[in-house]
Protein backbone atom coordinates (compact mmCIF):
# COMPACT_ATOMS: atom_id res chain seq x y z
CA UNK A 1 0.00 0.00 0.00
CA UNK A 2 1.46 3.35 -0.96
CA UNK A 3 2.41 5.89 1.68
CA UNK A 4 0.05 8.48 0.22
CA UNK A 5 -2.91 6.10 0.54
CA UNK A 6 -1.90 5.21 4.09
CA UNK A 7 -1.73 8.90 4.99
CA UNK A 8 -5.14 9.57 3.40
CA UNK A 9 -6.74 6.67 5.29
CA UNK A 10 -5.16 7.75 8.57
CA UNK A 11 -6.31 11.36 8.09
CA UNK A 12 -9.85 10.26 7.17
CA UNK A 13 -10.02 8.02 10.25
CA UNK A 14 -8.82 10.77 12.60
CA UNK A 15 -11.28 13.33 11.21
CA UNK A 16 -14.14 10.80 11.31
CA UNK A 17 -13.40 9.84 14.92
CA UNK A 18 -13.21 13.48 15.99
CA UNK A 19 -16.47 14.40 14.24
CA UNK A 20 -18.41 11.39 15.52
CA UNK A 21 -17.23 11.92 19.10
CA UNK A 22 -18.02 15.64 18.97
CA UNK A 23 -21.49 15.12 17.52
CA UNK A 24 -22.34 12.37 20.01
CA UNK A 25 -21.10 14.48 22.93
CA UNK A 26 -23.19 17.45 21.79
CA UNK A 27 -26.23 15.19 21.44
CA UNK A 28 -25.65 13.69 24.90
CA UNK A 29 -25.37 17.16 26.45
CA UNK A 30 -28.40 18.35 24.43
CA UNK A 31 -26.66 21.32 22.89
CA UNK A 32 -26.10 22.55 19.37
CA UNK A 33 -22.69 22.04 17.87
CA UNK A 34 -20.88 24.43 15.56
CA UNK A 35 -22.26 24.64 12.04
CA UNK A 36 -18.90 23.67 10.54
CA UNK A 37 -18.98 20.43 12.55
CA UNK A 38 -22.41 19.58 11.16
CA UNK A 39 -21.27 20.27 7.59
CA UNK A 40 -18.12 18.22 8.11
CA UNK A 41 -20.25 15.32 9.35
CA UNK A 42 -22.45 15.60 6.24
CA UNK A 43 -19.35 15.67 4.05
CA UNK A 44 -17.88 12.57 5.68
CA UNK A 45 -21.20 10.76 5.37
CA UNK A 46 -21.46 11.67 1.68
CA UNK A 47 -17.87 10.66 0.98
CA UNK A 48 -18.33 7.32 2.74
CA UNK A 49 -21.57 6.59 0.86
CA UNK A 50 -20.01 7.49 -2.50
CA UNK A 51 -16.97 5.32 -1.78
CA UNK A 52 -19.24 2.41 -0.84
CA UNK A 53 -21.21 2.73 -4.09
CA UNK A 54 -18.03 2.84 -6.18
CA UNK A 55 -16.47 -0.16 -4.44
CA UNK A 56 -19.75 -2.12 -4.63
CA UNK A 57 -19.86 -1.40 -8.36
CA UNK A 58 -16.31 -2.63 -8.75
CA UNK A 59 -17.11 -5.83 -6.83
CA UNK A 60 -20.22 -6.38 -8.96
CA UNK A 61 -18.27 -5.84 -12.17
CA UNK A 62 -15.55 -8.26 -11.15
CA UNK A 63 -18.20 -10.75 -9.99
CA UNK A 64 -19.86 -10.59 -13.41
CA UNK A 65 -16.55 -11.32 -15.09
CA UNK A 66 -15.87 -7.87 -16.44
CA UNK A 67 -12.24 -6.85 -16.56
CA UNK A 68 -10.96 -4.88 -13.63
CA UNK A 69 -9.81 -1.37 -14.50
CA UNK A 70 -6.14 -0.72 -13.82
CA UNK A 71 -5.60 0.68 -10.33
CA UNK A 72 -3.14 3.49 -9.92
Helix axes 3-28, 35-63, angle to 10 degrees: 130
Q: Is residue 69 part of a domain?
A: no
Model pLDDT for residues 19-56, shown as the tens digit of each residue: 999 999 999 999 998 999 999 999 999 999 999 999 99
Count of structural domains, the chain: 1
Model pLDDT for residues 6-15, shown as the tens digit of each residue: 999 999 999 9
> DSSP string spanning 32-49?
PPPHHHHHHHHHHHHHHH
CB 26 within 8 A of CB 33: yes
Cα–Cα distance for residue pair 54/51, rounded to 1 Å: 5
Name the residue range of residue 26's domain: 3-63
In eight-state DSSP terms, residue 29 is T
Q: Is residue 68 part of a domain?
A: no
Amino acid sequence: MSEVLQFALFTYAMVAIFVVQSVSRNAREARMGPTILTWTAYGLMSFSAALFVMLAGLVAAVGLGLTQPPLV
